[in-house]
A = this chain, B = another copy of it.
């Protein structure tokens, strides 16, 4: 199966010192603001890593250095062919400010890694992409607690 057959998106789990960069945005299907990771759809012909840098820049307002690809996730294979590609970085530099689309309102926050893990364990955070990225990175020991 080639990439063209699937709806592809990217997310970035970024660590700055002892915090993760999270975003909070309104999600219409749930009628509420929820906490997620910066990310979005891959444009036609765009490389995955380029898409990750672009979305991270647009939504979080930062540049990132070396990106580590940690895996692809199938969020809802019973109803969708969407694939989410997950990147991890601990090289974040230059706060440039967000470049949001007109319909987007995204709040950026910095949460200590320990608190993020605790909120996932306590089921305060429920977003599949966020939970997968953080728990996979923890399982692979990409960061230390």
Contact across chains for A140 and B121 when beta carbons are under 8 A apart:
yes
Taking CB atoms, residues of chain B closer than 8 Å to A75 are: 75-76, 128
Taking CB atoms, residues of chain B closer than 8 Å to A132 are: 128, 131-132, 135
Q: A13-21, A23-31, A59-67, A106-114: which one contacts chain B?
A: A23-31
Closest chain B CB from A71 CB (angstroms): 4
Asked if A92 is at the interface of the complex by the 8 Å CB criterion, the answer is no
Contact across chains for A121 and B135 when beta carbons are under 8 A apart:
no
Chief secondary structure at chain A's binding surface: mixed
Contact across chains for A30 and B77 when beta carbons are under 8 A apart:
yes
Q: Which 9 A-B pairs have the closest CB atoms?
A: A135-B135, A71-B123, A29-B81, A27-B77, A128-B128, A76-B76, A75-B76, A75-B128, A74-B126
Q: Which residue of B lies closest to A81 (CB)?
A: B29
Question: A117 CA to B135 CA in the complex, in Å?
Answer: 12
Question: A129 CA to B76 CA in the complex, in Å?
Answer: 8
Contact across chains for A74 and B128 when beta carbons are under 8 A apart:
yes
14 residue pairs bridging A and B, Cβ less than 8 Å apart: A29-B77, A30-B77, A30-B81, A34-B74, A76-B76, A76-B80, A117-B139, A120-B139, A128-B129, A131-B135, A132-B135, A135-B138, A138-B139, A139-B139
